[in-house]
Structure 1
Amino acid sequence: MERLWTGPFVTLTIGMLALFTGFYFLLPTLPLFIQDLGGSQTQVGLVSGVFTLTAVLFRPLVGGLLDRYGRRPFIIGGLLLFAVAMYAYDWIGGIAALLALRFLHGVSWAMSTTAVGTAITDIIPPARRGEGMGWYGMAMTIAMAIGPMAGLWLIEEGSFRAVVLVATGLSVLAFALAFAAKTPFERSAGRQPMKLFEKSLLPVTIAILFLAVAYGGITTFLSLFAVSIGVNAGLFFLVYAIALTLIRPMAGKLSDRYGEAGVIIPSLVVTVAALIVLSLASGVAGVVTAAVLYGIGFGSAQPALQACALRMARPDQKGVANASFFTAFDLGIGLGSIALGGVSQFAGYPALFVVCAASAGLSLVVFVVAVRARLPRSRQAAGEEAAV
């Protein structure tokens, strides 16, 4: 069996753990900071949406450039810009300036995460892609366990400035680790036109988008919902992360052995159930139950859908495939954050999570109708890639 745990794989994964932890510091604390600035519920959604929609605009361009010029320049440049943008939150004094900063931060997020994610797929043996992506995804999982609770503790015991400074330090650590990692890359033969999107990936990206709408509702409004029912938001993120940590390695191996459909379909059903439970929650028991189910469902479906995108793209289009995946994911989060802000303001949080459940249900329908039939051919292509 080909080796998975190489030096670059470990170094980049640890680097992304640092980056994602700093990023997740902001998720529960930024809405509170916006409210302190005098922002409304709708503006909370808008600020979150600007970040992700900016990433959507830049990811396709970054993906095409990665396949033409390599991964390293965009890893280094993206992480450096991310650290600078993170520190700049300390200077913000109004909603307009925050929106401008979120645009810059979104550009850096598009560059760094797309480039590192693509470099990781270069390093992982094709036959162990599901397993490798599952372990790499654990960086985000552990960050989600640590980040929100640490961020809330910092803002309660200190200030939003303390959140920013610690997150900046973690971003600098991510930059240093990525700078030290060797990232292999071979340009494809010939000088073909740069591709920004692969149309064969459209069905799977639509499925990813609908799943991400629900994720946007969780990440943007869970902390405010938890406050409204007297529950610590960090508890949801901690339980969710523990469930996700336990399920992801197993789901990745099952995906490699039996195919993505056998993992994705039941996982999306569990995700819908989690969001329905959350819409009915009125205390700790409901929130914890929803967190467990969401960790199992979303934690299994997300890396398997990314593996689908990679299998359905040509080996020389990994950058485009990763960019397509993250573009759809960011677009879903951005649209969800903006649209669901209005839902929460006029219909309340239970209605918001019902809409999230419906969106996850649409993801399931799209996958079953338009994606599943294409997977046997994509898995065969992966086998051919491994044999090269």
Structure 2
Amino acid sequence: MSTFAKLSAQTKQNLGVLFTAGLLFWASLASLLPTLPLYVKSIGAPDSQLGIVMASFAIGLLLFRPQAGKMADQQGRKIVLLIGISAATIAPVCHLLTQSIPILMIVRAFHGISIAAFTTAYSSLVVDIAPPDNRGELIGYMSLVNPIGMALGPAIGGYLQEFTSYAPVFVLSSILGMISMTCAMFVKAPPLQHQQQNQASDKLFWRLLLTDRIRIPTVTMLLVGVAFGAIATFVPLHIKEANVGLNSGLFYTAAAVTSFMTRFVSGKASDRYGRGRFITAGLLSYAISLIVLALANSAPLFLLAGALEGVGGGTFLPIMIALVADRCQPYERGRIFGLFVGGFDVGIALAGPILGSVASAIGYRGLYAVAAVVAFSALIVFMTLSSKSVAHSFRFALGYGKDLYAIPKDELLIKA
């Protein structure tokens, strides 16, 4: 926590307000995790349609993510942050207005705008503020909003639904979004840097995906997105079918607790020992968690799978953000984050319909076996292609080589 001690009182206050807004945002979204699949199932949707409805969330992500990145660079991070929280506030109540599968797909797509906008703006704001030497540490601390929100939201939403009905859960999600919005109003975003560079490079936006420094992180995020989609969509149904008497919200709480513990130390460690070994460890933990899910037949095994998934996500996601931040200039940060995290969105979009069909054909255990193969594929891609050669990729992935694509600190463009 020594990094915070070096910051000014105004900066610490600004980060505190941003952290609170982020915590409430993720609690709002996460409160629906154990409820929404059951709600869609309760109105008569089979697994194939359930997967399509849940994956529609990613449509909003995919369509708005590039625009969110561009807006964050050209018009400011705060406006994009507010757009994301607004969508998270409005969408939950809209679920109660219809039981039509096509309309629910539209609502889910609109809800997807929330993460596209919020995560792009939030990550960019944190990196804008973070000192380069302590970037991983500060990103790790500020990314704690995700596991804490993911711990509180599902537990509250799951128990509320269990003792009442679906409607109070959706209302709670909207209320949390409103409070998050209030906090976000007080966030003071740093001035934008080199806006003229943004305009000059608009035509090159999609070419960023072809560059070595961005392509492999994006592909890795895509594969992890498929695995995450399987966890976010089908775990409550898997637990219910296994008849183990476990509140599915506790699975996500277990994941959030270990994710919290991991993020608290992994960011600072990656500043000292390099990003590669921590990304590798996170991917391995993610893959093992999916194997445990495929084999789980008791409450302790489901909770173990959740804990391993939390370790994987808590290590992989913030360190991958730090890795990409190391590889880009401030003026292109919003767009690169939008593109790179867009890989995760595509993975989620593919997970619903594809894995929904897999579940219909071979069941939930088979589904998670397939998802485990996808996660191991992400690990192989990163370990062999993350640097300029296979040999150096292995060294970097195991922590024995530097990131050859990282921009030296003395070459970063700083606003005069």
TM-score, normalised by the number of residues in structure 1 = 0.94
Give the CA deviation at 1:165.
0.9
Give the CA deviation at 1:267.
2.3
Give the CA deviation at 1:384.
4.2
Q: Is the 8 A contact 2:29 2:88 kept in 1?
A: no
Give the CA deviation at 1:39.
0.8
Consecutive unaligned residues in structure 2, runs of 5 or more: 394-401
Does 113-122 or 145-154 show the bigger shift?
113-122
Which residues in structure 2 correspond to 1:64-75 (within 5 Å)?
A: 64-75=70-81
Q: Output the CA distance in 2 between the equivalents of 1:291 and 1:157.
A: 24
Give the CA deviation at 1:107.
2.4
CA separation of 1:73/1:348 partners in 2, compared to 1, >3 Å: closer, same or farther? Answer: same
Which residues in structure 2 correspond to 1:52-63 (within 5 Å)?
A: 52-63=58-69
Which residues in structure 2 correspond to 1:1-388 (within 5 Å)?
A: 2-3=6-7, 6-188=12-194, 190=196, 191-194=199-202, 196-197=205-206, 198-199=208-209, 200=211, 201-229=214-242, 230=244, 231-373=246-388, 376-382=403-409, 384-385=411-412
Give the CA deviation at 1:305.
1.2
Q: Output the CA distance in 2 between the equivalents of 1:330 and 1:255.
A: 25
Q: Is the 8 A contact 2:74 2:192 kept in 1?
A: no
1:19 partner letter = F
Q: Which protein, 1 or 2, shows the higher relative CO under an 8 Å CA cutoff with sep ≥ 6?
A: 1
Consecutive unaligned residues in structure 1, runs of 5 or more: none
Q: Output the CA distance in 2 between the equivalents of 1:383 and 1:87.
A: 49
SS in 2 for 1:348: helix
Give the CA deviation at 1:247.
1.2
Spell out structure 1 runs of 4+ moving beyond 6 A: none
RMSD after superposition = 2.0
Give the CA deviation at 1:72.
2.1
Q: Output the CA distance in 2 between the equivalents of 1:174 and 1:289.
A: 31
2:200 partner letter = Q
Q: Deviations over 1:5-53 (max 9, x none)?
A: 7222221111011011110111211111111211111111111111113
Q: Is the 8 A contact 2:195 2:331 kept in 1?
A: no
Q: Output the CA distance in 2 between the equivalents of 1:173 and 1:196.
A: 35
Q: Output the CA distance in 1 between the equivalents of 2:300 and 2:335.
A: 42
Q: Output the CA distance in 2 between the equivalents of 1:132 and 1:138.
A: 10
Q: Is the 8 A contact 1:70 1:187 kept in 2?
A: no
Q: Is the 8 A contact 1:141 1:241 kept in 2?
A: yes
TM-score, normalised by the number of residues in structure 2 = 0.88
Q: Is the 8 A contact 1:272 1:357 kept in 2?
A: yes
1:211 partner letter = V
Q: Is the 8 A contact 1:51 1:105 kept in 2?
A: yes
Give the CA deviation at 1:59.
0.3
Q: Output the CA distance in 2 between the equivalents of 1:340 and 1:273.
A: 18
Q: Deviations over 1:236-264 (max 9, x none)?
A: 21222111111112111111111111211
Q: Deviations over 1:348-387 (max 9, x none)?
A: 1111111111111111111112214486234443564398
Q: Deviations over 1:116-150 (max 9, x none)?
A: 22222212222222112212221110111111121
Q: Is the 8 A contact 1:55 1:106 kept in 2?
A: yes
Does 194-203 or 227-236 show the bigger shift?
194-203
Give the CA deviation at 1:285.
2.4
Q: Output the CA distance in 2 between the equivalents of 1:379 and 1:207.
A: 18
Give the CA deviation at 1:266.
2.2
Q: Output the CA distance in 2 between the equivalents of 1:263 and 1:193.
A: 32
CA separation of 1:376/1:280 partners in 2, compared to 1, >3 Å: closer, same or farther? Answer: same
Give the CA deviation at 1:336.
1.2
Q: Deviations over 1:327-361 (max 9, x none)?
A: 11111112112211111111011111111111111
